[in-house]
Chain A
């Protein structure tokens, strides 16, 4: 899988960084990004929970098999 955050949509709610701190972090502007090297989710089962928690649907997961 490949995880990305749309920084134009992100409102910096930090839901993702709180749910899966090993994959998402907040940058200096308070917006979230995927930690470099963790775009595959690092096997974290809660990544899908973070997608659901994001209040503005800014997180996308692409399943790399069919990409």
Chain B
């Protein structure tokens, strides 16, 4: 490294200028208080984590796009320097193996990703659309039979069971078992705080045990789902071991629940708060794909993506040292005024692309085609079939999740 004339800033320079992080949202789809100031300080600043540790926060869109693909930043959650946002993740780290796909680097990551990739392609997902539509209609039939005039929780009646049924179908988990995963997946990804760390751990272990058992049942009686295919092509040929396969299936199952359900809930809230755009969308459903893309940008539910530097990185007058924690805020990157005009406004007519709500770099969401299809179908069907849908409580009384992993609400009371 060459010495530069200007002082290069490190984490040790100015820890007093590192606000506590993460910050809870008050509105589930808007920037939390304090983000405005972080955005002004951007594109790179410092924050203080729950355990007192200082970490880098990346807030600029362009800078983030340079850093996300940088091989010197690692996703290895077993690295003792990996930054943790909440104690519950600390508990999960006690496991012997890192979570496949999300918690490992290449080449392990690339091998695991390519194992399951063929099932998540555009063509494969499009073939699932009729089945997704069927689940959406069945759930709405049940919900609508309760009303009108009653209050129901849209999250547990619709937004959560729909993606749950879809990922269970894709993996080959019997439909009657999908309720088993609704709650448990929530615990793994969205619970927070010290006392819930154990709950997250138990839920993960239970899901893992269920899937391990399912693999045995499928070995005895093969079917034609993703899990069957993985058993036939990967496990039986020795390309993946049994523990790894059960872990991969667990990660897919859990990720397939929480992410999409939070997106459906927050998108519903955001659209209800923008009635003209909702009306435009209702009268022209072909706007749905770009509206979903914009809702992804606007709500940025997977806001904080963590990395640890494996080597020194000099960037924008800052020195990220090996061992430093780096947090990439997708919400701040997605609301960077340098990249988006009217960055804080929802605008379903905005051209698609350029946001990083699915992440960026090698870990970009593997299920994004599936997620888009589910969101498009879920929202179009909901607003078509329930034209008088409204919140049953004032928007600011909807309970918001703690800020640790996925942003969302713990229930969404609606009526029609």
B360 partner, pick from A12, A19, A26, A55, beta carbons under 8 A: A55
Q: Which residues of B have CB within 8 Å of A28?
A: 118
- Are A26 and B353 in contact (CB-based, < 8 A)? no
- Are B122 and A56 in contact (CB-based, < 8 A)? no
Contact residues of A between 11 and 52, Cβ < 8 Å to B: 11-15, 17-19, 26, 28-31, 49, 52
- Are B353 and A56 in contact (CB-based, < 8 A)? no
SS of A interface (majority): loop
- Residue A61 lies at the interface, judged by CB distance under 8 Å to chain B: no
Task: Give the docked Cα–Cα distance between A18 and B293 (Å).
Answer: 12
Min distance, Cβ B129 to any Cβ of chain A, angstroms: 15
The interface stretch among B295-303, B361-369, B397-405 is B361-369
A55-B69, A57-B69 known; A14+B354 contact, CB < 8 A: no
- Are A14 and B68 in contact (CB-based, < 8 A)? no
A26-B121, A30-B117, A55-B362 known; A14+B368 contact, CB < 8 A: yes
Task: Give the docked Cα–Cα distance between A59 and B118 (Å).
Answer: 20
A29-B114, A56-B362 known; A19+B353 contact, CB < 8 A: yes
Q: Which positions in A face B, CB cutoff 8 Å?
A: 11-15, 17-19, 26, 28-31, 49, 52-53, 55-57
Total count of chain B residues near the partner, CB < 8 A:
24
| Complex: chain B residue closest to A26, CB-CB | B121
A19-B353, A53-B353, A53-B354 known; A30+B121 contact, CB < 8 A: yes
- Residue B146 lies at the interface, judged by CB distance under 8 Å to chain A: no
User: With A14-B368, A30-B121 given, can you name 16 additional A-B contacts, CB distance below 8 Å?
Assistant: A11-B364, A12-B121, A13-B358, A13-B365, A14-B122, A26-B123, A29-B117, A29-B118, A30-B114, A30-B119, A52-B353, A55-B361, A56-B69, A56-B361, A56-B364, A57-B69
Enumerate the 3 nearest inter-chain pairs by beta-carbon distance, A residue then B residue, closest first: A30-B117, A55-B364, A55-B360
Q: Which residues of B have CB within 8 Å of A17?
A: 122
CB<8 Å pairs between A and B, sample of 11: A13-B364, A13-B368, A14-B121, A17-B122, A29-B117, A30-B118, A30-B121, A55-B68, A55-B69, A55-B361, A56-B364
Q: Which positions in B face A, CB cutoff 8 Å?
A: 68-69, 110, 113-114, 117-123, 353-354, 358-362, 364-366, 368-369
A11-B113, A55-B68, A57-B69 known; A18+B122 contact, CB < 8 A: yes
Task: Give the docked Cα–Cα distance between A56 and B68 (Å).
Answer: 9
Q: Which residues of B have CB within 8 Å of A14?
A: 121-122, 368-369
- Are B120 and A30 in contact (CB-based, < 8 A)? yes
Q: Which residues of A have CB within 8 Å of B364?
A: 11, 13, 55-56
Number of A-B pairs whose CB atoms are under 8 Å?
56
| Complex: chain A residue closest to B356, CB-CB | A55
Min distance, Cβ B13 to any Cβ of chain A, angstroms: 31
Q: Which residues of A have CB within 8 Å of B360?
A: 55
Min distance, Cβ B280 to any Cβ of chain A, angstroms: 22
Q: Which residues of B have CB within 8 Å of A31?
A: 117
Task: Give the docked Cα–Cα distance between A31 and B359 (Å).
Answer: 18
- Are A11 and B362 in contact (CB-based, < 8 A)? yes
Min distance, Cβ A51 to any Cβ of chain B, angstroms: 11
Task: Give the docked Cα–Cα distance between A34 and B368 (Å).
Answer: 21
Min distance, Cβ A38 to any Cβ of chain B, angstroms: 17
Task: Give the docked Cα–Cα distance between A18 and B369 (Å).
Answer: 9
Q: Which residues of B have CB within 8 Å of A55?
A: 68-69, 359-362, 364
Min distance, Cβ A11 to any Cβ of chain B, angstroms: 5
Q: Which residues of A have CB within 8 Å of B354?
A: 52-53
Question: Could you say which of A26, A30, A52 has the most chain B C-beta atoms within 10 Å of its C-beta?
Answer: A30
Min distance, Cβ B225 to any Cβ of chain A, angstroms: 17
Min distance, Cβ B251 to any Cβ of chain A, angstroms: 16
A29-B114, A56-B69 known; A12+B353 contact, CB < 8 A: no
Min distance, Cβ A34 to any Cβ of chain B, angstroms: 16
Q: Which residues of A have CB within 8 Å of B123?
A: 26
| Complex: chain B residue closest to A46, CB-CB | B353
Task: Give the docked Cα–Cα distance between A13 and B113 (Å).
Answer: 11
Task: Give the docked Cα–Cα distance between A28 and B122 (Å).
Answer: 11
Task: Give the docked Cα–Cα distance between A30 and B119 (Å).
Answer: 8
Task: Give the docked Cα–Cα distance between A49 and B352 (Å).
Answer: 10
Q: Which residues of A have CB within 8 Å of B113?
A: 11-12
